């Protein structure tokens, strides 16, 4: 499963729904851009060192991998950006990269971010959009 930034944060807080969903996955994948968003958030916060250490511990787990973009990812990104533009929907660049990786690797994307619903026709059953309630 690919996790979005908000899912890592929920997992770090011990959100039982997120823990339950991720327990069913053999591998948890973090796109490189998610790591960037996390580090940016750490810098803005009051507990940067603690958060970096917790992330480092998480990243050292055998079932956690970092996903890097490929030329295929870039091709999918271009298609998704075009679809969003055509539909008048704006997604952040990072969200487009994350969705592109989920499509490329044909794995579920877990997120709380409703913006991804704009790509539900491409992500299909691989979009696991959690309700914030």
What is the pTM for the complete model shown? 0.93
Domain ranges for the chain = 2-129
In whole angstroms, what is the distance from residue 3 CA to residue 64 CA?
Answer: 10
The per-residue pLDDT string of the chain (133 residues; one tens digit each, 9 = 90 and over) reads 999 999 999 999 999 999 999 998 999 999 999 999 999 999 999 999 999 999 999 999 999 999 999 999 999 999 999 999 998 988 999 999 999 999 999 999 999 999 999 999 999 999 999 987 6
In whole angstroms, what is the distance from residue 3 CA to residue 54 CA?
Answer: 16
CB 10 within 8 A of CB 111: no
Residue for token pair 């533009």: 85
Classify domain 2-129 at the CATH class level: alpha beta
DSSP 106-133: T--EEES-GGGGGGHHHHGGGEEE----
């Amino acid at each position: 499963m690919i996790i979005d930034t908000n899912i890592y944060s929920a997992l770090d807080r011990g959100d039982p729904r997120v823990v339950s969903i991720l327990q069913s996955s053999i591998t948890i994948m973090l796109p490189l851009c998610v790591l960037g968003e996390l580090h940016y958030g750490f810098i803005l916060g009051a507990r940067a060192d603690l958060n970096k250490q917790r992330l480092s511990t998480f990243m050292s787990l055998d079932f956690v991998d970092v996903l890097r973009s490929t030329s295929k990812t870039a091709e999918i990104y271009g298609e998704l950006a075009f679809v969003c533009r055509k539909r008048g929907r704006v997604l952040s660049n990072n969200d487009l990269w994350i969705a592109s990786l989920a499509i490329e690797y044909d794995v579920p994307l877990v997120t709380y971010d409703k913006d991804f619903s704009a790509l539900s026709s491409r992500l299909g059953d691989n979009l696991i959009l959690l309700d914030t309630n």
